[in-house]
Amino acid sequence: MTEQPDPSRPGAARAFRAIAIAEACSWAGLLVGMFFKHVAVGNEVGVKIFGPIHGALFVAYLVIAVVAARRLSWDARTVLLALVAAVPPLFTLWFERWALRSGRLSEPAVAT
């Protein structure tokens, strides 16, 4: 049985959440790769694998953050927080959870 899309979540919010989680996972992979390269064994294969993956997901996160901000009517503070969250490791997870709890990943109300 296939799961039906949640009509209460707009597409931009679902895409943002997926990319935010993937970006955090790629950060974790890159950090593990850097540990093995610089501390444990001197082997840089983890950095060679996760470096480009993280780079692509970092850019995708920035793009989807701007798209989500427009579609979900985020204020400037929220947009800035979303963009800054891409820099420190794993902060996109924190931002995604905060945005979900605070209702910023819900469809904006339509004026009638």
> In the structure, what pLDDT confidence band is assigned to residue 33 with cuts at 50, 70 and 90?
confident
In a domain, 82, yes or no: yes
User: Higher model confidence: residue 34 or residue 102?
Assistant: 102
In a domain, 108, yes or no: no
Nearest to 53 by CA among 31, 81, 68, 69: 31
User: Higher model confidence: residue 21 or residue 41?
Assistant: 21
In a domain, 21, yes or no: yes
Domain range enclosing 72:
11-101
Q: What is residue 42's predicted lDDT score, i.e. its pLDDT? A: 76
pTM value is 0.81
In a domain, 73, yes or no: yes
Nearest to 8 by CA among 112, 93, 100, 111: 100
In a domain, 50, yes or no: yes
In a domain, 46, yes or no: yes
In a domain, 88, yes or no: yes
Q: 83: which residues sit within 8 A by CB, 6+ positions away?
A: 62, 65
When divided into structural domains, the chain yields a total of 1
- What does the longest C-alpha to C-alpha distance in the chain come to? 63
pLDDT digits (tens, 9 = 90+) for 44-80: 777 888 889 999 999 999 999 999 999 999 999 999 9
In a domain, 4, yes or no: no
